[in-house]
Amino acid sequence: MDAMRLGAVFRAVRIRKRWRQVDVAMAARVSQAMISRIERGHLRRLSIDALLRVAEVLEIRIDWAPKWRGGDLDRMLNAGHASLHETVARLFAGTPWFLSPETTFAIYGERGVIDILAFHPPTGALLVIELKTALVDVQQLMSVVDRYRRLAPRIARERGWRVTSVSVWVALLDTKTNRRRVAAHASVLRVAFPDDGRAVRRWLRRPDGPMAAISFVVEQPARSGAASSTGVRRPASRSVATALDSHASVDS
């Protein structure tokens, strides 16, 4: 979508909601001049965070579709996601947890893929893990995680797992951009995900009830002796085991 059309969408939605530019500006904590620039399609000097705040206030979802002349963006992004997948999987090495990577489901017309569905047979704890290499849309993230949490018990029962509690963990790749976006939405994320990386570490050792966490994860290169996403359990390296402790909070 080009800038002029995007601006027209913002203006049309604002008018439909019977809001003035100043009303949107106050709700999004930006200037009225910025709202005017957005509606006129003058986006070149606007920050993504500011644009997303205005979109969130107007309940507009922006779907980004980046292009690159190299033509292999999908391959690069999939490689980054796979690497984060391996890093998180190695945190479960040598534990009773069973991991089901890329868990697909189709329940009453609802379809999707859970990045990692983890089950702890000794306690019946079920953990939905959402992996994010880039945090773009906070509202969409919370909506997706809530849907997975709601459907997870049904998915687990189909696998014969006896579930006693359902928890969620959003594992974010530790980058400056992700930290900046988390900080911009810290109050909202703290309500949705009150637990941090340190809490995840403790809870994985002793899952004693539901948990909802978001934390930064330091991407670690694959090493001999690490566990793969297939669930094969081998000793974890010290650097992976401490990855969450040093990057734990949405306030950092």
Enumerate residues 6+ apart whose C-beta is below 8 A from 210: 165, 166, 167
- The CA-atom distances, in angstroms, between 175 and each of 133, 171, 215 are 9, 12, 12
pLDDT tens, residue by residue, 167-211: 999 999 999 989 999 999 999 999 999 999 899 999 999 999 999
Residue 145 has pLDDT above 70, yes or no: yes
Taking residues 152-165, what's their average pLDDT? 94
Nearest CA to 87 among 99, 96, 104, 76? 99
Domains recognised in the chain with CATH numbers: 3-57 (1.10.260.40), 73-241 (3.40.1350)
pLDDT band at 109 (very low <50, low <70, confident <90, very high): confident
Q: Which helix (H) or strand (E) holds 78?
A: helix 73-90
Taking residues 80-84, what's their average pLDDT? 84
pLDDT at residue 45 in the model: 81
Taking residues 23-48, what's their average pLDDT? 91
